[in-house]
């Protein structure tokens, strides 16, 4: 009886929901025809803003940042150049004084007029002795900064002008040189920015009225902007077809803004659906959810090793049957029994957990499982050399882990591995081959990895006979 009632409720609910959906679709089509004709212009404007203006705005910000960085570097070079020129002049003055040269004023006039490129004035006894601006000679000089507070030199930036003041012990002169911060090679800076712009796909670039990159197409709409500091024009085009394909987004927004009736039905529809779902599923939902969680929990526990958190035998077998890997490995901890017998199973369990962390770290994205005890299984796509390198690293970590519990290191804890690389074999055959390789490596050199195809059967037979 309960099932019949449940079935009738679902039928009624489904019929009602279907009816409301059909009505909303019909209403949407009717109103869309009116709205689309009204919003055509608005659509194009909005799409162009979203697609092109935002892109241009981002590029302008990048250009502005790069431009400032270039100017900063240019100014730094300029300052270094002026400093070097002043140092040369002071060195020359020192040499002239050592030679007891008296007519140094005439020399300085010729030097600054014919050799020195920047604005410069030379002061003696607080009066301008030499200047490129002849009308300033003989006038009092107001120092922009005091060079004697900073080992005979100082500098200052004021009114977009950089000024360096240096003291020359020779002839007791003050040398003042200055230059404008915006006095740089505009063409060189523009070329650097244009080089950056050229790396952007589909861009059109103009500089000094010359097109440097890009083509115009009749099926595209174009927008340009200007990087004002260097008068660089750049822009992009967008296909009219793309604008048309994106216009549906605008239609939805406008339709939503003018559809109070549609909203009303949508709200009623949502309320009724919510009530129906509450009536139908309130009683069963909690139990269904608990059952589902319980099943998931049981499934997870059934394939997970409780101690290490990786796959157990069943989980490993299920996982490896669904995937192919290059090598199948069995890894065994050497002298693990000594750890358990000497320090107890609690320490042994801690070492197994630490060992599992190492396997997860170095065999990331591979399939890991615990076969039992201190035996672990790995299905990996790494090559032989990578596996050998990883085992060496893992053994170094195991040695450090052992030291925390066993100071004397009576028996070394290490990991040995046997591998099988033929993924065409079934799991049992690959396990047997890898186990044979593990047996061989534990008899010869512990802490190493041996692959089944590399086993020397004749050597194994002789060793077994000798033993």
| End residue of a domain, out of 215, 239, 258 | 258
250 and 337 together in one domain: no
Average per-residue pLDDT in the chain?
81
pLDDT at 215: 86
User: pLDDT tens across 86-111, in order?
Assistant: 888 889 989 998 988 888 888 888 88
pLDDT at 458: 45
| Residue of higher predicted confidence among 138 and 465 | 138
| Least confident span in 27-41, 83-97, 179-193, 284-298 | 27-41
234 and 331 together in one domain: no
452 and 389 together in one domain: yes
| Helical pair 2-38 and 260-303, crossing angle rounded to 10 deg | 130
Domain count, the chain: 2
123 and 48 together in one domain: yes
Question: Is 462 a residue whose pLDDT tops 50?
Answer: no
322 and 252 together in one domain: no
pLDDT at 41: 55
79 and 146 together in one domain: yes
86 and 202 together in one domain: yes
Give the rounded distance of the alpha carbon of 111 from its chain centre: 55
> What SS3 state is found at 140?
strand
Work out the percent of the chain whose per-residue pLDDT is above 90.
20
Q: Which domain holds residue 458?
A: 313-466
| Least confident span in 36-50, 59-73, 183-197, 336-350 | 36-50
| Least confident span in 58-72, 153-167, 283-297 | 283-297
In-domain check, residue 275: no
pLDDT band at 467 (very low <50, low <70, confident <90, very high): very low
220 and 350 together in one domain: no
pLDDT at 465: 40
∠ at Cα 83 (81, 87), nearest 5°?
A: 115
In angstroms, the CA 200 to CA 220 distance is 18
In-domain check, residue 130: yes
Question: Is 418 a residue whose pLDDT tops 60?
Answer: yes
In-domain check, residue 50: yes
Contact predicate 167/174, CB 8 Å: yes
pLDDT at 353: 93
| End residue of a domain, out of 214, 237, 258 | 258
pLDDT at 29: 63
User: pLDDT tens across 322-380, in order?
Assistant: 778 899 999 999 999 998 888 899 999 999 999 999 999 999 989 999 988 899 999 99
| Residue of higher predicted confidence among 460 and 435 | 435
Query: CA 140 → CA 35, 131, 136, 212, 281, distances in Å?
Result: 79, 12, 9, 53, 97
pLDDT at 266: 67
Per the DSSP assignment, residues forming a β-bridge with 234 are 205, 225
> What SS3 state is found at 370?
strand
In-domain check, residue 167: yes
pLDDT at 134: 81
In angstroms, the CA 346 to CA 341 distance is 11
In-domain check, residue 147: yes
CATH number for the domain that contains residue 319: 3.30.70.270
In the chain the first and final C-alpha atoms are separated, in Å, by: 79
| Residue of higher predicted confidence among 102 and 460 | 102
Question: Is 440 a residue whose pLDDT tops 70?
Answer: yes
Contact predicate 372/313, CB 8 Å: yes
Question: Is 449 a residue whose pLDDT tops 90?
Answer: yes
pLDDT at 49: 63
Nearest in space to 387 (alpha carbons), one of 448, 303, 296, 456: 448
250 and 339 together in one domain: no
| Least confident span in 16-20, 59-63, 353-357, 384-388 | 16-20
| Least confident span in 8-12, 133-137, 200-204, 299-303 | 8-12
Nearest in space to 440 (alpha carbons), one of 423, 421, 462, 425: 462
In angstroms, the CA 110 to CA 70 distance is 34
In-domain check, residue 170: yes
pTM for the model: 0.40
Which ranges of 367-456 would DSSP assign to H, the alpha helix?
Answer: 384-403, 427-444
Q: What is the mean pLDDT of residues 399-421?
A: 88
In-domain check, residue 362: yes
In-domain check, residue 303: no
252 and 337 together in one domain: no
pLDDT at 349: 92
460 and 329 together in one domain: yes
pLDDT at 330: 94
pLDDT at 186: 78
98 and 188 together in one domain: yes
Q: What is the mean pLDDT of residues 389-395?
A: 94
């Amino acid at each position: 009886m309960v099932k019949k009632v449940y079935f009738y409720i679902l039928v009624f609910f489904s019929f009602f929901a279907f009816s409301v959906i059909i009505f909303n679709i019909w209403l949407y089509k009717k109103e869309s025809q009116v709205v689309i004709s009204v919003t055509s212009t608005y659509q194009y404007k909005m799409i162009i803003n979203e697609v092109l203006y935002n892109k241009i705005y981002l590029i302008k910000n990048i250009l502005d940042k790069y431009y400032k960085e270039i100017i900063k570097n240019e100014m730094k070079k300029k300052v270094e150049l002026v400093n070097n020129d002043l140092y040369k002049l002071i060195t020359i003055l020192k040499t002239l004084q050592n030679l007891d040269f008296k007519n140094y004023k005439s020399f300085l006039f010729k030097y600054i007029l014919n050799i020195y490129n920047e604005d410069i004035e030379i002061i003696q006894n607080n009066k301008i002795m030499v200047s490129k601006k002849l009308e300033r000679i003989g006038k009092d000089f107001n120092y922009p900064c005091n060079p004697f507070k900073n080992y005979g030199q100082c500098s200052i930036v004021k009114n977009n002008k950089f000024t360096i003041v240096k003291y020359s012990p020779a002839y007791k002169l003050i040398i003042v040189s200055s230059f404008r911060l915006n006095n740089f090679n505009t063409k060189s800076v523009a070329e650097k920015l244009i080089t950056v712009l050229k790396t952007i796909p589909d861009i059109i670039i103009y500089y000094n009225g010359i097109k440097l990159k890009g083509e115009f197409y009749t099926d595209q709409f174009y927008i340009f902007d200007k990087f004002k500091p260097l008068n660089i024009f750049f822009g992009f085009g967008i296909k009219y077809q793309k604008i048309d394909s994106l216009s549906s987004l605008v239609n939805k927004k406008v339709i939503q803004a003018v559809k109070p009736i549609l909203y009303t039905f949508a709200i009623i529809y949502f309320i009724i659906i919510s009530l129906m779902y509450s009536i139908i599923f309130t009683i069963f939902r909690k139990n269904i959810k608990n059952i589902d969680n319980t099943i998931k929990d049981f499934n997870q526990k059934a394939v997970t090793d409780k101690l290490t958190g990786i796959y157990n035998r069943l989980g490993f077998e299920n996982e490896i049957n669904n995937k192919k890997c290059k090598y199948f490995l069995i890894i065994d901890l050497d002298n693990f029994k000594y750890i358990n017998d000497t320090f107890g199973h609690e320490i042994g369990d801690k070492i197994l957990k630490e060992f599992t962390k190492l396997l997860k770290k170095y065999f990331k994205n591979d399939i890991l499982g615990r076969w039992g005890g201190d035996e672990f299984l790995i299905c990996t796509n790494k090559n032989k050399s990578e596996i050998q390198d990883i085992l060496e690293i893992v053994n170094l970590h195991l040695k450090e882990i052992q030291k925390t519990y066993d100071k004397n290191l009576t028996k070394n804890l290490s990991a040995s591995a046997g591998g099988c690389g033929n993924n065409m074999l079934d799991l049992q055959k690959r396990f047997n081959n890898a186990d044979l390789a593990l047996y061989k490596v534990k008899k010869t050199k512990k802490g190493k990895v041996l692959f089944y195809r590399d086993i020397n059967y004749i050597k194994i037979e002789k060793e077994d006979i000798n033993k």
